[in-house]
Amino acid sequence: MTETTILITGAGSGIGRATAQHFLEKGWRVALAGRRREPLEATAAGSPNALVLTCDVADPVAVDAAFAQLAKEWGRLDVLFNNAGISNVAAPIDEIPVAEWQRVCNINITGMFLTARAAFSQMRRQDPQGGRIINNGSISAHVPRPGSAPYTMSKHAVTGLTRSLSLDGRAFNIACGQIDIGNALTDMSRGQTVGVPQADGSVRAEAVMDARHVASSVHHMATLPLDANVQFMTLMARDMPYIGRG
């Protein structure tokens, strides 16, 4: 059993749920953040080491309240897995409503900023000082899929956040890294096993991998000493159409 703490956003489903359950199995104290309580409680499965925090990551008041509750309960935060994110319906940019763009930005950019900001503040001021922020990027932080302008732009923004926090965190013993994931099998990505648009205009099924590989990789990043850092990790289904493009 450990008193090491991690807060995971988007912990009610997908990669967030798989990662939260992995850390709970490893004996960590895990704060589960998300908009709906029921999925978070399903992830927690009654674990005494789980803390459910209902929170819309795009709402600064809700984010600050969630981090304040964590600090009250546990006193410190060692790791943030900045995971919450959404995608857009694939379409050419002129067919994407502005409201859809704003919806993606609110979660993938503003939400990432707000939760990183709150974690940084907690880690800077706690004793002993420091901690680690792990941002969930995407293969789209490197190359786009067809029709993905809002999502791809948002994931490039995450990379900028990671680089900036990596620099600013040095003075406060705060490390920041990013995991860029390709085709982890979750409810959001299940369509990849049926068929998704390709750059040549075709629609084809793609290889996927178990989301538990993401969880174990985040755990590896999280357990490094703070004087070491995985700056960027790309974790992907081996046969997905990423390597070999172009």
- Any idea which residues carry the catalytic annotation? 151
Phi, psi of 234 (to 5 degrees): -110, 120
HSE-up (13 A, CA, CB side) for residue 222: 27
Identify the DSSP state of 241.
T
Residue whose tokens read 């920041």: 176
Q: Which long-range contacts (CB under 8 A, 24 or more apart) does 21-27 make?
A: 21/45, 21/215, 22/212, 22/215, 22/216, 22/218, 22/219, 23/215, 23/219, 23/222, 24/49, 24/50, 26/2, 26/219, 27/1, 27/2
Give the β-pairing of 184-185 and 209-210: parallel
Are 149 and 200 a contacting pair, CB within 8 Å? no
What type of residue is 165?
L
Q: Measured between alpha carbons, how far is 207 from 212 in angstroms, rounded to an integer?
A: 15
Q: Measured between alpha carbons, how far is 218 from 179 in angstroms, rounded to an integer?
A: 8
Phi, psi of 107 (to 5 degrees): -85, -50
Q: Measured between alpha carbons, how far is 180 from 167 in angstroms, rounded to an integer?
A: 19
